[in-house]
Amino acid sequence: MNTWNRWMLGALVAASPVVATPAGVSSAPPATTRYLTLGEGRLAYDDTGGSGPLVVAIPGMGDLRSEYRALRPLLWQAGYRVVTLDVRGHGETSARWSDYSAHAVGRDALALIEHLGAGPAVILGNSFAAGSALWAAHDAPDRVRGVVLLGPIVRDGPPSWLARMAVAVGFGGPWRVAFWMAYWNSLFPARQPADHAAAKAALAANLREPGRMEALRTMVGLSKADTEAIVARGRVPALVVMGSRDPDFPDAVAEAHWLGAVLGTDPVIVDGAGHYPHLEMPERVAPPLLAFLSRVCAP
């Protein structure tokens, strides 16, 4: 990562968003990026520190750990230790891996929890990383108190030749970063955070680094059939949060109710929000999230 990109990413991660933090809530401590070296590469993460219950937050594909910048200060203020992780191929985590699956990222989360020595943890996962949270809970339920699934994509959608063609063309030339950023921008149908322009610039700069768009293209093409197969085997408490206007689903509300029924929980529907309800409307997401955390982290 060059100096300019590192500065942009660091400034965004450390920044306190204007619309995301309600009046009277302090900012979290400045982020200090740390690294965990695994067999194939290293994971980048930020850690607020502290002795409170551990919350590990994993962003979706094509995004950075800074997507939790609105929730991070709220959780820290409530007494939680918050760790945000860049997934394989993204941010300051190594770009090139042999496996970019949700299961592999779930294993990374477990390795991080073990490295921190602070578990069990609640794992937050957005988009495909909701599957990573489910995989971590499936593989090691003793190290996962619960999972929070934000805009969860845990099964394959109906096959569409038009969608496949759009992805093939979109990732097929020098316009591929612009293609992804246009799609990413569409995921905020209600409102954009006050720092949206800075977030967009940081993400685009990161995706231009060698190997990152190749990693993203691989992730986009992966089937989620393996993740769907374990959903009904969930053994830890779950919270499902879905924006009613999430453009990644033909019917986002129906998808949320399907997943909630399988997991045995009533989903939280954030009316009007898209794929990032925790960024568009953190004031709507924080109360049920904090209530869930209080319940699953109770002594």
DSSP string, 55-116: EEEEPPTT--GGGGTTHHHHHHHTT-EEEEEPPTTSTTS-S--S--SHHHHHHHHHHHHHHH
Q: How far is residue 113's CA from residue 5's CA, in Å, rounded to a whole number? A: 28
pLDDT bucket at 160, cuts 50 / 70 / 90: low
pLDDT bucket at 234, cuts 50 / 70 / 90: confident
Q: How far is residue 228's CA from residue 78's CA, in Å, rounded to a whole number? A: 33
Mean pLDDT of the chain: 90
How many other CB atoms are there within 10 angstroms of residue 297's CB atom? Answer: 18
Q: What is the CATH number of the domain that holds 250?
A: 3.40.50.1820
Q: Helix 196-207 crosses helix 176-185 at what angle (to 10 degrees)? A: 150
Q: How far is residue 159's CA from residue 157's CA, in Å, rounded to a whole number? A: 6
Nearest to 127, CA basis, from 28, 255, 4: 255
pLDDT of 2: 39
Mean pLDDT of 166-190: 93
pLDDT in tens, 6-23: 433 443 433 333 333 444
The parent domain of residue 276 ranges over: 3-296
pTM over 0.85: yes
Query: Within 13 Å and on the Cβ side, how many CA atoms surround 138?
Result: 22
pLDDT in tens, 28-55: 777 789 999 999 999 999 999 888 999 9
pLDDT bucket at 24, cuts 50 / 70 / 90: very low
Q: How far is residue 76's CA from residue 82's CA, in Å, rounded to a whole number? A: 6
At 36, which helix (H) or strand (E)? strand 33-37
Q: How many domains does the chain fold into?
A: 1
pLDDT in tens, 67-91: 999 999 999 999 999 999 999 999 9
pLDDT bucket at 168, cuts 50 / 70 / 90: confident
Statement: residue 254 has pLDDT above 80: yes
pLDDT of 198: 96
pLDDT of 131: 98
Q: Which two tokens stand for residue 39?
A: 């067999």
